[in-house]
Amino acid sequence: MSILQFLGLGKRLKDDRGERPASSAETETVRKIVSALDRMEPERARFIAAFAFILCRVARADLHISPSETRAIERIVVERGGLPEEQAILVVQMGKTQSTLFGGTENFLVTREFNRIATHEQKLALLDCLFAIASDEMISTVEDNEISRICSELQISHDEFISVRLAYREHRKVLKKPAKPQS
């Protein structure tokens, strides 16, 4: 399946006159982005795809990816993945869709693939990015647990996990004191 077909932009059904509908979502911009992604070196494309998917995995740990989490993931994919913003948006949207549709079955498989292709330094950089995504508002226990699971799958030591997590301690919901009721 091509990237165009995955996005629903491949072959369109024709109307009664045998023509494509006028409301076709295929635009020149989308074609350029898809073409650029298709020209990307396969290993790099695989790395970026797994990276974005794992970011979406943490964002979706609470079963919802907020618009601010989406923007944060896009920013990280631009900064750390070296993609232009238009491509990053497309990659993140694909990651969100895949995470929503197949997350339960794909989470371990994608993380295992990332473990295979990434260096230890890249894994630690991903760990930092995972906490950055989760700290968008407050790092919930479910997000913290998902990051811990990912660390285990990436063979990142518990000490390294704790070290990175310490940098985000002010964002951890579990450490916040409950608000005092006003009298």
Domains (ranges, CATH) in the chain?
Answer: 38-170 (1.10.3680.10)
- Tens digits of per-residue pLDDT, 111-166? 999 999 999 999 999 999 999 998 877 888 899 999 999 999 999 999 999 999 99
Highest mean pLDDT among 16-25, 89-98, 132-141: 89-98
- What is the pLDDT at residue 130? 96
Helix (H) or strand (E) holding 30: helix 28-39
- What is the pLDDT at residue 137? 73
Q: What is the pTM of this model?
A: 0.76
With a CB cutoff of 8 Å and minimum separation 6, the contacts of 48 are 40, 77, 81, 83, 91
With tokens 């494309």, the residue in question is 45
Evaluate whether 33 touches 16 at the Cβ level (below 8 Å): no
13: how many CB neighbours lie within 10 A of its CB?
A: 6
> What does residue 172 show for φ and ψ, rounded to 5 degrees?
-80, 120
Closest of 84, 77, 86 to residue 55, by C-alpha: 77
- Band of pLDDT at residue 74, cut at 50, 70 and 90: very high
167 vs 139: CA distance, rounded Å: 12
Reported in sequence order, the residue ranges of the chain that DSSP labels E, i.e. its strands, are: none
- What is the pLDDT at residue 127? 96
